[in-house]
């Protein structure tokens, strides 16, 4: 008999596919996605009507230089001045220079509200006012592993025409525009408690740079106001001091300006009353912009026709035309009309464009972008696109006719051009910032049904695996039919096929068909003896148990941004609480201690204990000791957490920094020794476990991997850490050798890892078989000889795990049904099999251990201690589960075959999330460890697949390890089975010694059912977390923190589910592969066997 491999894998693949379709649909309707157009404007673009191609940049610009002062988080309330306010708050009336200049020099200056598009984060805002585009949550482009702006932008255009750009301030600019500046003075911006370092650093160089002549564009980004808001809030005396400092800075810059220089003072976003930003409230989006030039900038004083609010995107075309550079290709901004003179005033002017000329150039550039974008992406509705094209065609005809006929400018034409530009921007904003509620609802429905299907499938696993089970043929055919019908309908009605809706129809129909079948058989379960009994398992009593209440509570908490921010510590507490529930529940049921004999009670009322008191005490001690190891691991793992921006008082773990960044030599050595010791202990514990159960005695590929590849990989990793930690200037004579080591050592480790995993897959058996000749009849009374298969296995372990008399059917087949108490009466050989009792768990354990070292390679060296804690926690959870299973059989209560209860499965999934945080990761994009993409590839990559894979492996390392090793929850109670406890297992046989995992071979249908149930329970918990994140994102899509907290959480949960489900399938498939190898081994050993 063999395990039903195809039904198990097909059901799991179907479940995963249904979840993937639900996630894909919801994400497609929720995330604001825009395709980047990687084209650039050039000086040769034909923008003027009726002219031959000329160099646009050769014309004399209005201004030769520009000073761009960015005061981070300068909201409009900070910039306004109210002389009637006699009792101003700390942030009011602290920038009088702006109002004084506007009042005294109305032809030279203006102050406007400067409105940002959400999300109001600094990086996205810089992208907005340099490219002129509308950044969304996900900008699809080829900028993986780098935050560099690849779209056409002002900084690139300045460089193209030879303008020297000098930058100083927030180091975010250095990441966004690498190697784009003539001179750069970046200062670290991470520490929000530091109000002065960046600002004082700028002031040391700002004025000396201005009086020099080695610059054309000067960008200074001050951070003090923003950091003060984060630390104290705007209503604090420190804000008054910081704004007063900025007032002095603006005055000093104005005094040093030349006539051909434009000054722009602006904020990138505002802030809330608590000093935060990132959302879309008006307090966060409304910043300030101040324009000034010593020479007249405006044709007249402020008038009613001037804009009430200036969108940030309008700065891009305005600056571009004022300085004589092409407008960036993807800009949808509109020129700020008041800074351009009317057409009549440009006659005899020294340079620059009139209002109508600027509008025409702007409109032609925007129309070109619209045509290019609409040809690449299909998200703009055809109706809107056609209307805009027709409008531009009409305006173009009017403008060209006016130029040919030499007529004076028409105010109506200028107004029409402005209206066209506004329409394009509104259309793009509506397209890129619009949720698709139908897709979101469809994704929610599919995910909800998927969770329900997963739960039902776990409860009906034995029925589904049975020969009379429904199978997937009917759901597959229904899904295929539904998908084809929807595709045909779309093709007939719309002329194209939307694959998302075809997948949605297929997934939903297959789910509904399965649920219909489950409803018909929902009260039927199959008992052990094969008879049917009725049991309603989908009841509140069945669902409201502590192991299921914990995930329910956690899922409900995902609606709280405070929980998401503090999730790392909360999940640690949940693991501890649920683990503590196990001994408390056992003690409540009277199973933790040996039952005391009560002489007053008559005999026969209670069943005889299945385990002797000494065994019960030993198992209880093991459980409590492992609980202590678990608590210690949980406590120590808190030392490896990272910090979110919202956690102001938090300090990230020092172990998150690579050794190369540590300046203290003693601290560096201490970290290295600790990391190497942790790595060595990881390797030792794995080999010790395999040796203890007799799995290192054969000559197969898995044993070769454990004996040689595992230690070699560890040595390789330790050497790589040593080379990477070496400062570049320490050993200049060995610089080439160190560089070679940084390249060769990690690649060698990758090669060893791949070879080891391949050998485990190719030859997973760790069984060593011995045959011995018959014993002479005169020696029948002597004890059978003992053998040592390896010097590395103790006699006690040999007695426990050699299993010379295991597997009674194999012995009967060898002896033709004649047993002789362990001795042969004829010349037939007796079989001794080392490691047969752990034949399934050993290769899986080694596979996970090897994979863990490979994943550690992608992390900072200090994470070796965290990975060791992960291994210890895994072992503690497995032994707690095994001991509780054994103790549950004290009175024969464990009659559920190989079923793994909900509690260990829930603990396993929580531990995966807990170690996601304990390896320095967070559900935020800034916390992604991009350096993992360059391990073994210090010179970068030519494509994106490999670096994306490396970063994914780094980010979801804990998810991968726990998902792959999930089947160990099924095997470990058998591995730790108490020897000599006859009848202690429902699936055991009387008179049979502990045969460990060989019980699974005796009951293949129960084995398949238990494996399917374990996998679906794990998937259900993961799927419930994704569904909760999806619900939170849908319900709170207009919440202040949606793009800062809930949307990143959704992305990480969805990605984690994808990685975990694939890893779980790999683990289950490896178990199936071992089962195939075991079956072949028995066929070779017993040719007549039918197993």
Q: Collapse the DSSP code of 1091 into the 3-class scheme (helix H, G, I; strand E, B; otherwise coil) and give the result.
A: coil
Structure-token pair, residue 801: 């795990």
Structure-token pair, residue 809: 């059917």
pLDDT at 992: 40
Structure-token pair, residue 219: 């960008």
Helices vs. strands in the chain: H and E counts, helices first = 38, 14
How far from 260 is each of 162, 181, 263, 402, CA to CA, in Å? 17, 21, 10, 32
Query: Of 380, 574, 378, 385, which is closest to residue 495 (Cα–Cα)?
Result: 378
Low-confidence ranges of the chain (pLDDT < 50): 1, 139-146, 348-349, 523-535, 601, 603-609, 773-829, 893-895, 980-993, 1088-1091
Give the model confidence (pLDDT) of 162-179 as tens digits.
999 999 998 889 888 988
pLDDT at 776: 46
d(CA 1030, CA 1051): 9
pLDDT at 470: 60
Structure-token pair, residue 371: 């045509």
Structure-token pair, residue 368: 């070109």
d(CA 1031, CA 1024): 10
User: Residues, the chain, total?
Assistant: 1091
Q: Please say whether the beta carbons of 806 and 998 come within 8 A.
A: yes
Q: Please say whether the beta carbons of 991 and 870 come within 8 A.
A: no
Report the run of H or E that residue 369 belongs to, with start and end.
helix 355-376
Tokens 């999940």, residue located: 571
Tokens 């051909």, residue located: 260
pLDDT at 190: 53
pLDDT at 576: 93
> Is the full-model pTM beyond 0.85?
no
d(CA 508, CA 481): 12
pLDDT at 46: 60
Backbone angles phi, psi at 206, to 5 degrees: -65, -55
pLDDT at 538: 58
Give the model confidence (pLDDT) of 866-896 as tens digits.
999 999 999 999 999 998 888 887 555 444 5
User: Judging by DSSP bridges, how do beta strands 138-140 and 183-187 pair with one another?
Assistant: unpaired
Buried b (16+ CB within 10 A) or exposed e, 802-825: bbbbbbbebbebbeeeeeeeebbe
């Amino acid at each position: 008999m063999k395990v039903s491999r195809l039904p198990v894998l097909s059901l799991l693949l179907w479940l995963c596919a249904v979840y993937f379709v639900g996630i894909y649909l919801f994400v497609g309707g929720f995330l604001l996605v825009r395709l980047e157009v990687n084209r650039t404007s050039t000086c040769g673009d034909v923008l003027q009507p009726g002219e031959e191609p000329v160099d646009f940049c050769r014309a004399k610009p209005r201004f030769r230089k520009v000073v761009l002062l960015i005061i981070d988080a300068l909201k409009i309330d900070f910039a306004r001045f109210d002389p009637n306010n006699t009792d101003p708050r700390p942030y009011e009336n602290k920038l009088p220079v702006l109002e004084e200049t506007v009042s005294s020099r109305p032809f030279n200056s203006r102050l406007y509200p400067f409105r940002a598009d959400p999300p109001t984060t600094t990086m996205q805002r810089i992208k907005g006012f340099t490219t002129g585009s509308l950044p969304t949550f996900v900008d699809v482009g080829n900028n993986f592993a780098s935050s560099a702006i690849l779209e056409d932008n002002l900084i690139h255009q300045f460089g193209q025409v030879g303008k020297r750009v000098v930058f100083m301030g927030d180091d975010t600019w250095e990441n966004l525009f690498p190697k784009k500046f003539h001179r750069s003075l970046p200062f670290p911006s991470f520490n929000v408690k530091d109000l002065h370092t960046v600002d004082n650093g700028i002031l040391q160089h700002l004025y000396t740079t201005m009086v020099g002549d080695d610059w054309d564009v000067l960008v200074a980004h001050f951070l003090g106001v923003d950091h003060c808001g984060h630390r104290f809030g705007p209503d604090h005396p420190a804000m008054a001091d910081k704004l007063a400092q900025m007032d002095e800075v603006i005055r000093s810059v104005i005094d040093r300006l030349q006539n051909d220089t434009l000054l722009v003072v602006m904020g990138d976003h505002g802030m809330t009353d608590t000093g935060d930003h990132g959302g879309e409230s008006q307090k966060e989006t409304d910043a300030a912009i101040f324009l000034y030039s010593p020479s007249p900038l405006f044709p007249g004083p402020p008038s009613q026709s001037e804009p009430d609010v200036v969108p940030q995107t309008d700065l891009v075309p305005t600056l571009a035309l004022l300085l004589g550079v092409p407008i960036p290709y993807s800009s949808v901004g509109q020129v700020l009309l008041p800074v351009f003179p009317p057409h009549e005033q440009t006659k005899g002017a020294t340079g620059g464009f009139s209002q109508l000329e600027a509008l025409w150039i702007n409109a032609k550039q925007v129309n070109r972008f619209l045509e290019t974008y609409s040809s690449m992406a299909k998200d703009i509705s055809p109706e809107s696109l056609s209307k805009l094209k027709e409008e531009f065609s009409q305006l173009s005809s009017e403008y060209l006719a006016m130029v040919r006929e030499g007529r004076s400018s028409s105010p109506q034409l200028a107004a029409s051009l402005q209206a066209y530009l506004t329409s394009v921007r509104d259309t793009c904003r509506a397209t890129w910032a619009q949720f698709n509620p139908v897709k979101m609802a469809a994704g929610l429905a599919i995910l909800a049904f998927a969770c329900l299907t997963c739960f039902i499938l776990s409860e009906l696993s034995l029925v589904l695996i049975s020969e009379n089970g429904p199978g997937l043929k009917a759901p597959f055919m229904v899904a295929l039919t539904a998908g084809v019908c929807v595709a045909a309908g779309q093709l007939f009605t719309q002329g194209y096929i939307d694959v998302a809706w075809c997948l949605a129809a297929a997934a939903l129909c297959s789910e509904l068909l399965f649920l219909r079948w489950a409803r018909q058989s929902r009260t039927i379960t199959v008992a052990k003896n094969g008879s049917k009994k009725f049991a309603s398992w989908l009841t509140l009593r069945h669902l409201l148990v502590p192991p299921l209440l914990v995930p329910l509570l956690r899922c409900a908490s995902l609606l709280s941004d405070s929980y998401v921010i503090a999730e790392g510590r909360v999940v640690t507490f949940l693991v501890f609480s649920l683990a503590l529930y196990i001994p408390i529940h056992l003690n409540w049921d009277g199973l933790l201690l040996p039952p005391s004999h009560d002489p007053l009670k008559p005999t026969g009322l209670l069943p005889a204990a299945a385990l002797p008191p000494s065994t019960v005490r030993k198992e209880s001690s093991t459980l409590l000791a492992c609980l202590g190891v678990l608590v210690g691991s949980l406590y120590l793992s808190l030392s490896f957490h990272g910090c979110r921006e919202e956690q102001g008082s938090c300090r990230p773990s020092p172990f998150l920094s690579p050794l190369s960044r540590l300046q203290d030599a003693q601290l560096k050595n201490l970290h290295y020794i600790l990391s190497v010791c942790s790595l060595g202990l990881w390797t030792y514990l794995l080999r010790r476990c395999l040796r203890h159960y007799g799995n290192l005695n054969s000559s197969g590929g898995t044993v070769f991997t454990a004996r040689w590849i595992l230690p070699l990989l560890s040595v390789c990793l330790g050497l790589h850490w040593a080379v990477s930690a070496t400062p570049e200037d320490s050993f200049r004579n060995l610089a080439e050798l160190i560089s070679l080591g940084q390249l060769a050592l990690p690649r060698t480790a990758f090669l060893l890892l791949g070879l080891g995993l391949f050998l485990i897959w190719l030859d997973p058996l760790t069984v060593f078989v011995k045959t011995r000749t018959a014993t002479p009849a005169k020696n029948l009374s002597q004890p059978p000889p003992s053998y040592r298969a390896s010097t590395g296995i103790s006699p006690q372990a040999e007695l426990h795990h050699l299993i010379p008399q295991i597997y009674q059917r194999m012995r009967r087949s060898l002896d033709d049904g004649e047993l002789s108490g362990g001795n042969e009466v004829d010349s037939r050989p007796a079989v001794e099999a080392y490691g047969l009792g752990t034949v399934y768990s050993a290769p899986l354990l080694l596979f996970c251990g090897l994979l863990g070292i490979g994943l550690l390679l992608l992390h900072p060296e200090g994470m070796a201690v965290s990975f060791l804690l992960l291994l210890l926690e895994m072992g503690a959870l497995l032994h707690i589960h095994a001991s509780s299973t054994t103790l549950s059989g004290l009175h024969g209560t464990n009659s559920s075959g190989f079923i793994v209860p909900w509690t260990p499965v829930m603990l396993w999934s929580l531990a995966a999330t807990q170690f996601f945080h304990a390896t320095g990761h967070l559900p935020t994009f800034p916390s992604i460890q991009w350096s993992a993409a360059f391990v073994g590839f210090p010179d970068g990559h030519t494509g994106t697949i490999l670096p994306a894979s490396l970063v994914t492996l780094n980010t979801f390392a804990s998810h991968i390890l726990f998902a792959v090793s999930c089947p160990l929850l099924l095997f470990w109670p058998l591995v730790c089975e108490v020897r000599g406890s006859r009848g202690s297992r429902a699936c055991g046989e009387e008179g049979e010694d502990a045969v460990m995992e060989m019980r699974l071979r005796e009951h293949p249908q129960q084995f398949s059912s238990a494996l399917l149930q374990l996998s679906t329970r794990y998937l259900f918990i993961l799927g419930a977390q994704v569904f909760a994140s999806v619900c939170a994102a849908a319900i709170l899509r207009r919440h202040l923190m949606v793009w800062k907290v809930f949307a990143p959480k959704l992305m990480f949960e969805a990605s984690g589910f994808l990685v975990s489900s694939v890893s779980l399938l790999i683990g289950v498939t490896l178990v199936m592969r071992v089962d195939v190898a075991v079956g072949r081994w028995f066929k070779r050993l017993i040719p007549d066997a039918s197993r």
